[in-house]
Amino acid sequence: MSVDGNMNTNVNLERIKYGKPRKIDGRYMSHSKYLQENGHLIELQIETGYLKCIRLTENHIDLLLNEDDTDLASFFTNLDEYNIKTAYRNSEVWFNETLPLEVIDEYHKSFVKVHNGSPMIRVDIGKDMYIEMKNKVEGKFVKMFLKYEGLRFLKQQFTSIWSGANFDIERDIDLTENIFEEIGEMENVEEDKIPEVVVEKTAEVIAEKKTAEVIAEKMPKVVVEKTAEVIAEKTKTAEVIADKTKTAEVITEKTPDVIVNDMPIKTREKSQSRKIKVIKTAHKRSIWQ
């Protein structure tokens, strides 16, 4: 089953089924499947929004969840609670003894962790995905397609495991490229024939992107001149209006610092806000006798 990260309520947690824990590579793992209404067991996969990557290793990727983007975290928290109850119901079969719910709760480790006060998830990745991600994702916003592997048990804790099935890196929006495409070849266009929308949008790009030098170099002189007038009028810079030199220097030197300072624009997907509950893990005795 594949579910969009903004629609995780579509997952019926009661339909997540687990096998008896088996020892794999020195660790016990209870693999999961999702029971469809037709009785077929399939893999459970979900899609996240764009999350900031704060760390990448050969084995996992760490992703931050914004406080305004916690619908996914709520899903993971609900899954944590379901897993605690499932382990309690199956403790005699899984651990060869009936363990109190409080003990199961203490051994459980939430999938949602905390990094410098912010919620974070750690996703397992394989060698091929690491090679694809290397030197590309750290510090970037990444959409992950996650596969639910199941529950991993250690001596004094257990937690849910998600692996990366695929990913997508968010691209920065460069408004200057769109402006240049619209302007096209305008070197010989008369000033009074420059479309008003081009001048307005050009002035907006300079004000927002603060890349006056780049724009001045790539734009036809007549557009630069007209844009300088618009900026001068909008920012009430009398010196620019009086000078009327209409060159790149007008944009880069005569415009107030508030326009020249760098402030990149980026867009990200956001989901509805929810609070996160992180379940603390206490270390006591081993659940494996």
Q: Are residues 182 and 154 in the same domain?
A: no
Mean pLDDT of all residues in 53-65: 96
Q: What is the pLDDT of residue 239?
A: 52
Q: Are residues 247 and 104 in the same domain?
A: no
In a domain, 267, yes or no: no
In a domain, 268, yes or no: no
Cβ contact 276:73 at 8 Å = yes
Q: Are residues 165 and 249 in the same domain?
A: no
274 vs 192: which has the higher pLDDT: 192
Closest CA to 68 of 265, 275, 266: 275
Q: Are residues 72 and 188 in the same domain?
A: no
In a domain, 106, yes or no: yes
Whether 242 shows a pLDDT value over 90: the answer reads: no
Whether 192 shows a pLDDT value over 80: the answer reads: no
Cβ contact 132:116 at 8 Å = no
Q: Are residues 243 and 182 in the same domain?
A: yes
Q: Phi, psi at residue 265, to the nearest 5°?
A: -105, 135
pTM over 0.85: no
Q: Are residues 121 and 43 in the same domain?
A: yes
In a domain, 203, yes or no: yes
With b for 16 or more beta-carbon neighbours within 10 A and e for fewer, the 30-52 pattern comes to bbbbbbeeeeeeeebbbbbbbbb
Six-digit token pair at 13?
A: 């947690």
Q: Are residues 117 and 163 in the same domain?
A: yes
Number of domains making up the chain: 2
Q: Are residues 87 and 200 in the same domain?
A: no
pLDDT digits (tens, 9 = 90+) for 120-129: 999 999 999 9
Q: Are residues 25 and 147 in the same domain?
A: yes
Mean pLDDT of all residues in 46-51: 93
DSSP single-letter state for residue 37 = T
pLDDT digits (tens, 9 = 90+) for 66-113: 876 767 888 999 999 999 999 999 999 998 999 999 999 999 999 999
Q: Are residues 249 and 140 in the same domain?
A: no
Other beta carbons within 10 Å of 253? 13
Instruction: Name the residue range of residue 148's domain.
Output: 2-169
Last residue of a domain, one of 151, 169, 187: 169
Last residue of a domain, one of 118, 143, 169: 169
Residue 33 β-bridge partners: 17
In a domain, 199, yes or no: yes
